[in-house]
């Protein structure tokens, strides 16, 4: 047990409806001050085997549970989340350093929405029967089995429930492995689900490192689906581990997304969109970190951007007035700083920030804008995942599209333009799973979500989630004799 931000958090695993300890533990640090929050049970193959076995035992009954009863169970979990928004917000802010105001107003209510959406979508899921030479075709979505869900640290509970909710709605059982840098709200979710009456073994949580718990989970022969959000190198390792079992994968990976600002754009809107990319201290996979600006307006855009970004308040994320908090962990902080130092060493120039916030110390990195980076350099092509944006200019639409597509990633893209014909033309040529035009981060769970190129494999959301978490079956019936 640990007391975190005034909330009691059980730091054991949740397996088969019980709290389970481990012989080993790991220390969970708060990014706010790098002080210990909790000693967390450190799972490995033994705990993974137990969790998969519990999920396997629970699967037949849960799979046979009617859609209506599964939907009611998910709504009950959502009710529990709504009742505990404040506690969840405080714990998650302490654990991953994101803004308390965002957790209270947006993130935790969205967690509840994730469960409600997939509960309701389940009840409308279906496909009209169709005939083939007098034979009737009928499509079913059969639960697949035990799902291994591995989630990142940057939005721990929201991203976990993007996976947990559809997997449970589909009739599967789950083993959730949260990131070791932010594991605490997954433990709270297990308690909320139990209070809501979710049967034992349907949701299990195993904490630990990727090398120990994660590796054992994705290689387990009794796992029928793997959904992972994280880095490309880890995805490669997961794919290799899953290959002998032919376990289907859904992978949402990194990004190096562009924000294209054309000369006909609303400049105030474009600047607002650009500054918004510092959200969550830049620790957002979808962030449009490459600002590609028409050369004819670049000077005015930059001047307005620097004025607007310079007014951001960096500090303690527990304060309502803070705009930017810390990086998640010392190791990640040093990685972000390394990208910037190497870029500056290669001749780039920092127009804003460019290093740690020494006034605050710790893990606080100044919002940074890098210009004049050499073409093809890593700061322009590799994911930094911190509050670091780059500025480049283009002369033509053709050049803008080429620059936008000039990385191995293809997760998202954002456009600012006043010309709807240009918007249609450019979006059709961009390599991206999601494109926003004159907006950012509008996310509807009915829409497909995922990445192109090395930003991922597969799509989730709406029917796409059920297509992944189910074995889709077509039954063909000959006409019955009268």
Whether residue 285 lies in the annotated active site:
yes
> How many CB atoms lie under 10 A from the CB of residue 50?
19
Whether residue 252 lies in the annotated active site:
yes
Q: Name the active-site residue from 92, 147, 212, 285.
A: 285
Q: Name the active-site residue from 180, 252, 383, 460.
A: 252
Residues catalogued as catalytic: 252, 285
């Amino acid at each position: 047990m640990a007391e975190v931000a005034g909330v009691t958090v059980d730091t054991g695993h949740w397996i088969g409806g019980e709290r389970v300890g481990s012989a080993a533990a790991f220390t969970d640090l708060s990014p706010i001050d790098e002080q210990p929050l909790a000693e967390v049970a450190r799972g490995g193959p033994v705990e993974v085997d137990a969790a998969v076995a519990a999920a396997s035992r629970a699967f037949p009954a849960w799979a046979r549970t009617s859609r209506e009863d599964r939907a009611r169970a998910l709504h009950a979990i959502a009710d529990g989340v709504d009742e505990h928004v404040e506690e969840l917000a405080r714990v998650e802010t302490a654990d991953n350093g994101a803004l308390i105001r965002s957790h209270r107003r947006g993130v935790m209510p969205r967690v509840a929405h994730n469960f409600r959406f997939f509960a309701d979508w389940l009840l409308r899921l279906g496909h009209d029967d169709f005939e083939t030479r007098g034979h009737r075709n009928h499509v079913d979505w059969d639960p697949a089995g035990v799902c291994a869900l591995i989630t990142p640290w940057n939005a721990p509970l929201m991203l976990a429930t993007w996976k947990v909710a559809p997997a449970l709605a589909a009739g599967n059982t789950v083993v959730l492995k949260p990131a070791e840098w932010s594991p605490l709200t997954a433990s709270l979710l297990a308690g909320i689900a139990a209070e809501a009456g979710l049967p034992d073994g349907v949701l299990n949580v195993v904490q630990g490192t990727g090398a120990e718990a994660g590796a054992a989970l994705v290689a387990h022969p009794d796992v029928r689906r793997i959904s992972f959000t994280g880095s490309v190198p880890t995805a490669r390792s997961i794919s290799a581990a899953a290959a002998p079992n032919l376990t289907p994968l859904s992978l949402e990976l990194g990004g190096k997304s562009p924000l294209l600002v054309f000369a006909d754009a609303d400049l105030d809107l474009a600047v607002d969109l650009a500054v918004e990319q510092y959200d969550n201290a830049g620790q957002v996979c979808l962030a449009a970190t490459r600002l590609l600006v028409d050369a004819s307006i670049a000077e005015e855009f930059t001047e307005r951007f620097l004025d607007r970004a310079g007014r951001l308040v960096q500090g303690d994320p527990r304060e309502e007035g803070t705009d930017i908090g810390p990086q998640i962990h010392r190791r990640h902080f040093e990685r972000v700083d390394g990208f910037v130092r190497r870029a500056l060493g290669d001749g780039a120039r920092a127009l804003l920030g460019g290093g740690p916030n020494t006034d605050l110390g710790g893990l606080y990195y100044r919002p940074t804008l890098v210009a004049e980076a050499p073409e093809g350099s890593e700061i322009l092509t590799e994911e930094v995942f911190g509050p670091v944006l780059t500025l480049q200019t283009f002369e033509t639409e053709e050049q803008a599209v080429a620059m936008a597509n000039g990385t191995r990633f293809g997760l998202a893209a954002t456009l600012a333009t006043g010309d709807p014909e240009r918007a249609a033309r450019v979006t059709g040529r961009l390599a991206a799973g999601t494109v926003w035009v004159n907006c950012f981060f509008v996310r509807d769970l009915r829409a497909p979500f995922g990445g192109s190129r090395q930003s991922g494999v597969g799509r989730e959301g709406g029917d796409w989630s059920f297509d992944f978490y189910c074995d889709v079956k077509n039954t063909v019936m000959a006409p019955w004799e009268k």
